[in-house]
Chains A and B, each alone.
Chain A
Amino acid sequence: MRNRLSDIDLEKDLYLRYRAAYMTIMEAAIKAINLTKRYGNFTAVDHINFEVYYGEIFGFLGPNGAGKTTTIKMLTTVTRPTEGTAIVNGYDIVKQPAKVRESIGTVPQEYTADEDLTGWENLMLIAALYGIPKKEARERAAELLDLVELSYAADRKVETYSGGMRRRLEIAMGLINRPAILFLDEPTLGLDAQTRAAIWDYVYRLRKQYGVTIFMTTHYLEEADRYAERIAIIDHGKILAIGTPKELKEKVGGDVVTIEVNGDIGLARKVIEGIDGVNGVTVNGNTITFKVKNGNTAAPAILETLNKLSIRATSITIKEPTMDEVFLEFTGRRLREEEGSTEEFMRFRRTVARARR
């Protein structure tokens, strides 16, 4: 038993060592160095440090007002940091903003396309701002509209587009310069579940097609879990945790295993508590609940031990901790997804309504 668990530790250790080696070889696509932004007395982003590697999908997860958008605005050179800096695609955001702008694409939170122009005209305008020659711009625009399945609406004014169409157009606009790094600020904000899935489908497709590194912010826990390869949890302008979704979940204490037993429950509890790596054991009637790293491999071994003591399990469930639990662990509060999305969406709707007033 002990051996098995230390095997797992070894595996993890190897993985981390491999990654450390990989990190030293591979230059980071983004490297934030004490990046800070203050508005008066309010510190929106507080000395954050992190790295994003080329080719990965990196998620920035946090509640509203945590500092996600401010970070993206600094990384995309829209806002100057108060302190610290970041290296984006090898260029300093403070000293070489023009170089940074040439190597990145952005899809901001709000819709930025000009409503009075058609989708095609918007793409051609942005292409011209990057200095892309007309002929090549036309080829790229056609290809991108195809990718986001908007070719049929290319010659329609953007004001006639639906929310999902506009978001897809924004993504196409963010890719017109073939960026090394694409910044997506809440790419699925206010969209229905189906459209959200479609957007993610595009994101994956474009990474496959162009090998673009993706930095995205979200407050949808389940999206961060499912689509991001590494996640940073940010709250009150500070990064609280960083790692793969799996690593973060392990930091919380691993999988939640629930075993219903037929036999001496007290003895079962003692045995389980004695196993290395198990914690948070609770007993309710004849069910035992506990946390363990890598529940899928640990559970059969635990069952075998119980069996030897003639304690039989009648049912077993192994549940990975959700990102919700991870978030709670690191920030001390829950991020209610449903509330978040409706509230955020209403805020967004209000912003648009105000803008159009």
Chain B
Amino acid sequence: MNMAVRLHPLHGLWALTNRELSKWYKAPVILIISLIQPIVWLAFFGKSMNFATMFTSGLNIPGLNIPKQVIDEIGSEILKANFGTTDYFSFLAVGMLSFITLFTSLQSGMSIVWDRRLGVLGKLLTTPVPRGNIVMAKVLNSVIRSLTQATIVLIIAVLLGMKLNPSLNPLDIVGAYAALTLMSMGFASLFVMLALRSTSWESQMAIMNLLNMPLMFASNSFYPVKSMPWWLKPIAYVNPLTYVNDVNRQLLLGVTGHSLLLDYTYLVIFAAIFSIIGIILSWRYLSEA
């Protein structure tokens, strides 16, 4: 009567991930809506906050006759010193890749609350699926969604005028995606963890809203860390977004930044620590008291 089948330790992981993904591709409206925000940032903010124009054209100081070429040169150098590139739009576009990844990852906490409220989680817990796989399916789902959405944002950004590194090679793309994956893993695990015992989606919503903007602004997504006040800098340096953006600007735009090895090490540690804690906590706290 009972199965003699020996269950694979990862069994059910893909089935659970696929369950989440199928909801997503069955309702493309949600995908489109979640893309609106980063695109608005890119198209409205990125296109209007045109530092290049501000610094290089139309500057005329009365009484001084500085050649336009000199002003342009100074402007470019200032931009480069701050953003690593004269093209702020491209700088911002990279920030938007981590923006969409962050927002998507934050939602994984909500989905576990819904599963609990609607009884689905209770059912999953009576099956022999490893508890860690329930959590990891949420994380995997978040990674896949994030990368898909980041790809769409990247394509739109290029269409809007993002200038990729002319000597871009496929390995750079892989590297950029790896950074986004690590960040998504870490944040999704963290938020699933926070939601393990929760039955209130309102509180999850509150946590999401509380953290998304500070995490964005306390990173180098919109502006470089060095222009931040002294008290914000330490926060920016523990914020994984800073490391993802640093990696992606080096790989996609060809600007100089911190050591890639340091960036990746930090991201791997971030992803590993939260995934492992998430799995361990799921053994104990996913089921009812």
Which residues on A are within 8 Å of B, measured CB to CB?
Answer: 39, 73, 76-80, 89, 98, 101-104, 106, 108, 110-117, 121, 124-126, 128-133, 173, 177-178, 180, 354-355
Contacts and interface: CB of A to CB of B under 8 A. Distances in A.
Interface string B99-136: 00000000000000000011110111111110000000
B3 A132 contact: yes
Of all A-B residue pairs in the complex, the 4 with the closest CB atoms, nearest first, are A128-B15, A112-B123, A110-B119, A129-B127
Interface of B: 1-3, 5, 7-8, 11-12, 14-16, 19, 22-23, 26, 117-120, 122-129, 287-289
Nearest to B287: A78
A124 B127 CA distance: 13
B117 A112 contact: no
Contacts of A115: 118
A128 B127 CA distance: 10
Contacts of A79: 287-289
Nearest to A110: B119
A112 B119 contact: yes
B117 A103 contact: no
Nearest to A177: B3
B3 A98 contact: no
Nearest to A124: B15
A131 B126 contact: no
Given A112-B120, A355-B117, A128 B26 contact: no
10 contacts: A79-B289, A101-B126, A108-B123, A115-B118, A125-B19, A128-B15, A130-B127, A130-B128, A178-B1, A180-B1
A80 B286 CA distance: 12
Contact of A131 (B1, B3, B19, B287): B3
A126, A132, A133 — most chain B CB neighbours (10 Å): A126
A39 B288 CA distance: 11
A24 to B, nearest CB: 23
Nearest to A355: B117
- A39, A110, A121, A125: residue with the most chain B Cβ atoms closer than 10 Å: A125
A282 B5 CA distance: 65
B211 to A, nearest CB: 23
A121 B119 contact: no
Given A102-B7, A173-B123, 9 more contacts: A102-B3, A102-B128, A103-B1, A108-B123, A117-B22, A126-B123, A129-B15, A131-B11, A178-B1
Contacts, number: 97
Given A108-B119, A131-B7, A73 B22 contact: no
Contact of A101 (B19, B26, B127): B127
A173 B22 CA distance: 19
Contacts of B287: 77-80
A126 B122 contact: no
A35 B246 CA distance: 57
- Most A-side CB within 10 Å, residue of B14, B23, B123: B123
A121 B22 contact: yes
A130 B3 contact: yes
B101 to A, nearest CB: 24
Given A73-B288, A80-B287, A131-B11, A114 B120 contact: yes
B8 A131 contact: yes
B122 A78 contact: yes
A131 B120 contact: no
B5 A131 contact: yes
Contacts of A104: 126
B30 to A, nearest CB: 11
Given A126-B123, A131-B3, A39 B12 contact: no
B121 to A, nearest CB: 8
Contacts of B122: 78, 108, 110, 112
A108 B119 CA distance: 9
Contacts of B11: 128-129, 131
B214 to A, nearest CB: 28
Contacts of A117: 19, 22-23
A243 B129 CA distance: 36
B128 A129 contact: yes
B129 A103 contact: no
B3 A180 contact: no
Contacts of A106: 123, 126
Contacts of A89: 2
A37 to B, nearest CB: 9
B128 A131 contact: yes
Given A78-B287, A79-B289, A131-B12, A116 B26 contact: yes
A129 B22 contact: no
A125 B133 CA distance: 14
A198 B208 CA distance: 46
Nearest to B124: A129
Given A104-B126, A106-B126, A116 B1 contact: no
Contacts of B7: 102, 131
Contacts of B19: 114, 117, 121, 125
A133 to B, nearest CB: 8
A209 B181 CA distance: 49
Given A102-B3, A104-B126, A78 B12 contact: no
Contacts of A128: 11-12, 14-15
A129 to B, nearest CB: 4
A34 to B, nearest CB: 20
Contact of A102 (B2, B288, B289): B2
Nearest to A170: B123
B15 A355 contact: no
A77 to B, nearest CB: 7
B126 A125 contact: no
A317 to B, nearest CB: 46
A39 B289 contact: yes
Contacts of A113: 120, 123
